Amino acid sequence: MSTTVLPSYDEVVERYAPVIGLETHVELGTNTKMFCGCPTDFGGEPNTRVCPVCLGLPGSLPVANKAAIEATIRIGLALNCSIASWSRFARKNYFYPDMPKNFQISQYDEPLCVDGFLDVEVDGEIVRIGIERVHLEEDTGKSLHVGGATGRIQGATESLVDYNRAGIPLVEIVTKPIPGTGAKAPIVARAYVTELRDVLRTLGVSDVRMEEGSLRCDVNTSLSPAGSAEWGTRTETKNVNSLRSVERAVRSEMLRQAAVLDGGGRIVQETRHFHEDSGDTTSGRSKETATDYRYFPEPDLVPLAPDSAWVAELKAALPELPRVHRRRLQQDWGLSDHDMQSVLNAGAVELIEQTVAAGTTPAGARKWWLGELSRRANEAGVELSAVGASPAQVAELQLLVDEGKLNDKLARTVLEAVVAGEGSPREIMAARGLEVVSDTGALTTAVDAAIEANPDIAAKVRDGKVAAAGALVGAVMKSTRGADAKTVRSLILSRLGVEG
């Protein structure tokens, strides 16, 4: 096995200019599938949410789902696209076992929405990402390879197919090529997908769960020598299943391509697979071109001609979009641009918003999400939202601190248990007997016990060696667990008749 030494990232961006592009597939949250009445809920016993239309049985005819068309137009409008007054579905012909009809109904040269943009904030600057097109198509089923170690087809003994997903409306959002981002290419890619996800969620058109595949991202990457006017050959990385992976996939593909080019090699146009565990990509199939698909207009469906009055109505009814919403939150929370940027970088906007809604102050919410929880998420290599604490739990924790029932140190201990799945902060406090001992009566008893058990130390302190009191403080802290060290110290000194 040959090993390639990868150049450092800094070297790569000094010598090469990346061009990226993103194709995002979004499963729409309609009640029924794109061309039939089957339900669209995630999961279910395999092959139970199917009918002759989505199984492609002879004689069945598709009927377009109006709710899906409406959702697609709203996405196009939110992305500043022109909405076509005339649009058609097309057959995209290819054979895959998870596609029962042997073709996919998609859109080709007449998509519903074209030529828009999405503004994305990266390090306090706006990067305008051009949107090439937004079109509507249907999802495929799912293949399941069993009997092997990896779940992939290599080494599997059997392959099974589940058509429940086949025919679910899918919107594809394709960016224009994005040049000129240099070293920031990976974070621009991540920022774009994050912003797009937020827009889609705000529109309420999809649950945009990357881990369940309702938002899927393919990342195109190419490198050209710095200063060159010509773009390099691009690869398309598939299976990028989290925001963090979007960033990693671009970065790792830049490093790989640079190593190939440095060695005098040539980049092959192909699809590559991203591996969550190792963070690198491996070669998939060589990339099909449009002519391989033998597109032709779908003869079973009438063209779409959205009425301009309807489009205007949809545009007027768009909700407040995330960038505007965030600006408003920033004002409500009283944050500087820099502080707001930290919140954004941590992916914490919604989490803080929900924590505040659950009854705590913005400052209290921000402290936990940007501090302890961000640190844990980084360590575990997961998104902040997957760190194991919910906004409601964080709000409860901060409330207990505000009420004086937890001090900072105890709160961290409780939070650790929350993240470990031991329950809500109150449940954990009850189960572990954790609470700040602020009741002076109980504290005084503990202090007196510590003095009685350590007469030599007590004598030293009485003689003016105040520093020796530390050992007594330690003993009290140990016996009460939750006491505040400062309070304990002053109590000990006053019981021994010494001025603190």
Q: Tokens in use for 473?
A: 């403080």
Indicate the residue among 53 and 217 with the shorter CB distance to Zn ion: 53
Least distance to Zn ion from the beta carbon of 99, Å? 14
Indicate the residue among 57 and 357 with the shorter CB distance to Zn ion: 57
Indicate the residue among 31 and 494 with the shorter CB distance to Zn ion: 31
| Chain residues that interact with Zn ion, rule: CB under 5 A | 36, 38, 51, 53-54
Q: Tokens in use for 204?
A: 């309420």
Least distance to Zn ion from the beta carbon of 143, Å? 19
Closest by alpha carbon to 285, among 220, 251, 235, 231?
235
Indicate the residue among 36 and 415 with the shorter CB distance to Zn ion: 36
Indicate the residue among 51 and 301 with the shorter CB distance to Zn ion: 51
Indicate the residue among 101 and 216 with the shorter CB distance to Zn ion: 101
Indicate the residue among 121 and 139 with the shorter CB distance to Zn ion: 139
Is residue 121 within 8 A of residue 191, CB to CB? The reply is yes
Least distance to Zn ion from the beta carbon of 40, Å? 10
Indicate the residue among 36 and 196 with the shorter CB distance to Zn ion: 36
Least distance to Zn ion from the beta carbon of 169, Å? 12
**CA dist 431 → 90, 397, 414, 419, 427 (Å):** 61, 15, 11, 15, 6
Least distance to Zn ion from the beta carbon of 166, Å? 8
Indicate the residue among 49 and 256 with the shorter CB distance to Zn ion: 49
Q: Inter-axis angle of helices 440-453 and 455-462, to 10 degrees? A: 100
Question: What does the angle CA 474 – CA 477 – CA 481 come to, to the nearest 5 degrees?
Answer: 145
CA distance 83 to 318: 15
Least distance to Zn ion from the beta carbon of 104, Å? 15
Indicate the residue among 19 and 53 with the shorter CB distance to Zn ion: 53
Closest by alpha carbon to 217, among 187, 197, 198?
197
Least distance to Zn ion from the beta carbon of 163, Å? 9
Least distance to Zn ion from the beta carbon of 293, Å? 23
Least distance to Zn ion from the beta carbon of 94, Å? 20
Least distance to Zn ion from the beta carbon of 49, Å? 7
